[in-house]
Copies of this chain bind each other. A is one copy, B any other.
Amino acid sequence: MFAEIKGLNEECGIFGIWNHSQAAEMTYYGLHSLQHRGQEGAGIVSTDGIKLKGHRNLGLLADVFKHGELKNLQGKGAIGHVRYSTTGEKDLNNVQPFLFHFQQSSFALAHNGNLINAVSLRRELEASGAIFQTSSDTEVLAHLIKKSQTGNFWDDCKMALKRVQGGFAYLLLTENALIAALDPNGFRPLSIGKVGDSYVVASETCAFETVGAEFVRDVEPGEILCIDEKGLHIEHFTKDTRHSICSMEYIYFARPDSNIAGINVHSARKRSGKMLAEEAFIQADIVTGVPDSSISAAIGYAEESGIPYELGLIKNRYVARTFIQPSQALREQGVRMKLSAVSGVIKNKKVVMVDDSIVRGTTSKRIVQLLRDAGASEVHVRIASPPLIYPCFYGINIQQQSELIAANYTKEEICQMIAADSLEYLSIDGLVEAIGRPYPDEPYGGLCMAYFNGDYPTPLCDYENGYVFNRK
């Protein structure tokens, strides 16, 4: 049962806008800048005040809307969603926003995050006769809202939000309002911007740059907000809150030009690289980073260490979903599609290879091999985050513990497995300092560090019995 629900809304991007004459188009551009958060599917729902209309499909945003579908999405309000690719669950039904029609009204719903009590809630709802159309945990919220029946939609929403647990940033569109809500820990980022007379809400501030909006403020944990003809209205649906911002957003998931809790992501990464150079310096000829997410950290490492930074690894910009991958035979013959090592730069050099993280270790092993094939005399791997040991239940698709190499092997064993000359990680404290403690008075400065130390900021609910946390 876990497998069917888990992971479905993880690592997504959401964007909403209210009071703009081209709301759907603006949402398209906003989603465009959030495309790195989800390439599996995309959708937009807009409202013209009377009716909600939507379009969604599997694929990249540009493909989903390539036949002029935007033209049908009139109106002054819109929300959109881009969805991450999780193997084996590619199903149009799970592409968001979901659109729910009733005889009297409609609403659309988009979700970034992962609920930890979705299985229990769904069991309970089905027992009372509810019919679910998708295997997504997002639909649970819709049923909870519908069942609340306080007679007031805003109160229905608040009542429903109190029942869901885990990581969630929701956008909800009705005929006459845009509603947003963030979980009580603020696991996922969600910010408010303004462009002209229009409010926008987005997973990352980079979307504001793209649509020409100015940053207003972040949505805080436990908040629900409504944007309608009366403007922006914010309340708490719960006061039992605490900041636990996903540190993985800083490490590799967010775009470098976004700010989360006021901290620029590129700068946080560069500082991680510098901190790593302090904690784990090694004499070498060049520093190189794994494109794209580790470049900032690599530059930081180079700057701090004084070792020149070079483009030792090139990522092919044109590796698309439709690409035919080499057969095993050709792969053994050395055919490679995604990354190339620049032998003209690497040859006979001692190389420091900076990466943001190691999950299974297979990619690291391949890159070390690439560098050696290109003539590197030594390859020293430096990871700009601590070892990943614990799974995430709040919306980052980190594999089961059994697949996390650092949960099963020592640093020395891993170094040997990836065939590096040396391997070092950034420390937990080093990471917290490098990111910069956005909320200095809260644990870990307001960050969630559970992947590194198992210190989950909430009970685990449905997942409680699903995992055993042992460390070698």
User: CB within 8 Å of B: which residues of A?
Assistant: 1, 22, 25-26, 28-29, 32-33, 35-36, 39, 60-63, 65-66, 70, 100-104, 119, 122-123, 126, 128-135, 142-143, 146-147, 149, 195-196, 206, 209-213, 255-257, 259, 263-267, 270, 292, 295-296, 299, 303, 308-311, 314, 316-320, 322-324, 326-327, 329-330, 333-337, 340-345, 374
Contact = CB atoms under 8 A, between A and B. Distances in A.
B340 A257 contact: yes
Nearest to A148: B129
A291 B463 CA distance: 43
Given A102-B126, A318-B32, A344 B266 contact: yes
Given A26-B330, A267-B345, A318-B32, A129 B130 contact: yes
A257 B135 contact: no
Nearest to A102: B126
Contact of A345 (B22, B143, B264): B264
A267 B344 contact: yes
Nearest to A198: B333
Nearest to A65: B324
A322 B206 contact: no
Contacts of A335: 26, 29, 210-212
B257 A322 contact: no
Contacts of A270: 310
B299 A309 contact: yes
Contacts of A299: 309-311
Given A195-B334, A270-B310, A296-B311, A32 B323 contact: yes
Nearest to A21: B329
A212 B311 contact: no
Number of copies: 4
A330 B22 contact: yes
B103 A122 contact: yes
A181 to B, nearest CB: 19
A330 B70 CA distance: 15
A218 B263 CA distance: 49
B255 A314 contact: yes
* Pairs of residues from A and B, 9 with the lowest C-beta to C-beta distance, nearest first: A212-B334, A264-B344, A257-B342, A35-B318, A66-B322, A129-B147, A62-B322, A133-B133, A62-B323
A316 B209 contact: no
A318 B123 contact: no
A343 B303 contact: no
Given A129-B130, A340-B33, A345 B266 contact: yes
B210 A340 contact: yes
A62 B266 contact: no
A323 B340 CA distance: 28
A32 B128 CA distance: 39
Given A62-B324, A101-B135, 11 more contacts: A35-B317, A36-B318, A62-B323, A70-B324, A103-B126, A212-B334, A264-B344, A266-B310, A266-B344, A267-B345, A299-B311
A33 to B, nearest CB: 7
Contact of A211 (B36, B62, B296, B334): B334
B25 A330 contact: yes
Contact of A132 (B101, B206, B259): B101
8 contacts: A1-B103, A25-B326, A129-B143, A209-B340, A210-B340, A212-B333, A264-B342, A265-B344
